[in-house]
Structure 1
């Protein structure tokens, strides 16, 4: 993509983030279902329109890559909301301040993913064998997600940085107005729990980027499409958090669906690495031409089908469990 396309895109992203910051900064509140639903619908429509624009100006293949990448990243972002929900429950973040936490988390995620995209694109352009590493990492992540689903371990574990901050920094007992620092009646400056929450969100975003960036590079190698798919997946995530609410807890099989998607993309990356192979001990350093190529339309169908089945199965199971629980109460 040309420089002016990048510039226009970045300006538009910054403008949307600025509007979000103004809304949250001027009036921190818990959005209603109607407000959240309207914003989520707006961002989804924006992504669909953007993909249509790519179709018109660049062709069907790039548009299909964008839609597939956006859907994959959006699904991974929904899974990330589980952890955000646990973090905010763990640190007892007031509901009216949760919008601010989510917005800052999204900005941090965009910055981190931007850095990872730049690094990933540079590596891919120089070393095609990186696809082997990306593929193996995605399969490993898929297995980890599968075990998490089996053990129902969606808990959040505090990392070293969070534990250090809680131990070493002077932290107040209340969030106050949601700022990072507060001044006591005696004039002492203290950090608020909001700083610890930001550290938790930021470090979690870093781990999420490690999963999501290899996944989308398995769908498209174009940095512009990788970046925009991530941007549209993250936009509206704040409102989606409040829209889904308790529905997140009902998506009991989402981890299985995401595990299958990541494993599929990992295998796809490995097959593509075989096609462009330059490693001497694999086929004498030549490409393996018998390895099948998976077209983007098939990837899109597999991802949509897998996530659709996981969502439908989750809602059916949750509904049955609720009926059983209700029947047990009545008896």
Structure 2
């Protein structure tokens, strides 16, 4: 087995174990997740993500089993890492590589985590529109994450394969992200609505499944009088999965602007997705207060898209992964601070 495969399988085993513990031990009884519980869950996932940063910072060279300078140079060129190696000093070059790899991971994590906030707006809308009892939110989100991990795996490694063969795809991603950011800014004040009966996913599912007319506890499926049904809760799960698929179209190209190493893209993406569930419960009641966040995310996408389009010039000017991280954190900080300093006026006040 290669080191890459060992890293990957070990990571998947960890994720499966954590989700199994979550579903089996901490979620035996459906309940409404409290702010305190969500805070603890969020802290744990962030600590895990930071722990993985430490792992890459000190042992990142083990991922691709780099043994000599020639192999290090090959890996660096293959994944387009924006670093300057020292041919006469392999040890120093490895340190530069590990530091950059860990920085790419944490930058990708911050980007994905930030873009996930926009996903929370839509999730709240979905649960509200379908009338899902709040005690079932946790169950739907956990199973939704499992589906999201599978979808992201396919998207990321397919995208990495395409980029390695056709580097010009980076420019396509760049144009798409700039366009998406501009459209997000233009439509930032539009109120989103979801019609449960006429949603495209619901209409599609209704063609192939018998849908039970009401929620049946936390069940996704039901058998009655020998006939199998899917419950409305299963339809909500499908809508959540479809929504994540749409968001993945934005977020995955965005992380490829930070790093071209598919393993780093996958690790940062999945840690952010796992933290999304707890962040949902943390922000569900206060998300409306961050009304400038959409503006910040639109600028974030435009910046990442522009960076993708001009990466050759930026590298020549000495623009590094660290500079990207500073700008990304700055954009997010300004949007959050502006939201708190200038609260949205409520109609009638």
The structure 2 residue matched to 1:163, chosen from 203, 214, 221, is 203
Q: SS at 2:259's partner residue?
A: coil
Q: What displacement does 1:168 show?
A: 6.2
Q: What displacement does 1:190 show?
A: 2.8
**Structure 2 CA distance for aligned equivalents of residues 298 and 43 of structure 1:** 25
Q: SS at 2:319's partner residue?
A: coil
Aligned to 2:5: 3
Bigger drift between 243-252 and 119-128 goes to: 243-252
Q: What displacement does 1:188 show?
A: 4.5
The structure 1 residue matched to 2:327, chosen from 299, 302, 309, is 302
Bigger drift between 58-67 and 127-136 goes to: 58-67
* 1:267-282 pair list within 5 angstroms: 267-272=306-311, 275=312
Q: SS at 1:236's partner residue?
A: helix
Q: Is the 8 A contact 2:220 2:232 kept in 1?
A: yes
1:180 to 2:220 alignment = yes
Q: Is the 8 A contact 1:271 1:291 kept in 2?
A: no
Aligned to 1:260: 299
1:321 to 2:345 alignment = yes
Q: Is the 8 A contact 2:296 2:335 kept in 1?
A: yes
Q: Is the 8 A contact 1:108 1:205 kept in 2?
A: no
**Structure 2 CA distance for aligned equivalents of residues 291 and 266 of structure 1:** 18
Q: Is the 8 A contact 2:216 2:231 kept in 1?
A: yes
Q: Is the 8 A contact 1:271 1:292 kept in 2?
A: no
CA gap of 1:289–1:101, structure 2 versus 1, over 3 A, is closer
Bigger drift between 223-232 and 8-17 goes to: 8-17
**Structure 1 CA distance for aligned equivalents of residues 123 and 284 of structure 2:** 12
1:134 to 2:169 alignment = no
TM-score by length of 2: 0.82
**Structure 2 CA distance for aligned equivalents of residues 114 and 290 of structure 1:** 29
TM-score by length of 1: 0.86
Aligned to 2:125: 86
**Structure 1 CA distance for aligned equivalents of residues 167 and 25 of structure 2:** 44
Q: What displacement does 1:159 show?
A: 4.6
Q: Deviations over 1:205-260 (max 9, x none)?
A: 11111111100000001111101101110113222211112211111111111111
Please give the root-mean-square deviation of Cα atoms over the aligned residues, in Å: 2.2
**Structure 1 CA distance for aligned equivalents of residues 4 and 220 of structure 2:** 40
Q: SS at 1:190's partner residue?
A: strand
* 1:105-144 pair list within 5 angstroms: 105-144=144-183
Q: Is the 8 A contact 2:56 2:101 kept in 1?
A: yes
Bigger drift between 155-164 and 207-216 goes to: 155-164
CA gap of 1:123–1:40, structure 2 versus 1, over 3 A, is same
Q: SS at 1:219's partner residue?
A: coil
CA gap of 1:128–1:159, structure 2 versus 1, over 3 A, is farther
**Structure 2 CA distance for aligned equivalents of residues 290 and 40 of structure 1:** 35
Q: What displacement does 1:179 show?
A: 1.4
Q: Is the 8 A contact 2:120 2:280 kept in 1?
A: yes
CA gap of 1:290–1:6, structure 2 versus 1, over 3 A, is closer
Q: Is the 8 A contact 2:307 2:314 kept in 1?
A: no
Bigger drift between 123-132 and 173-182 goes to: 173-182
Unpaired runs of 5+ in structure 2?
A: 61-97
Aligned to 1:279: none
* 1:176-325 pair list within 5 angstroms: 176-184=216-224, 188-272=227-311, 275=312, 292=317, 294-318=319-343, 321=345
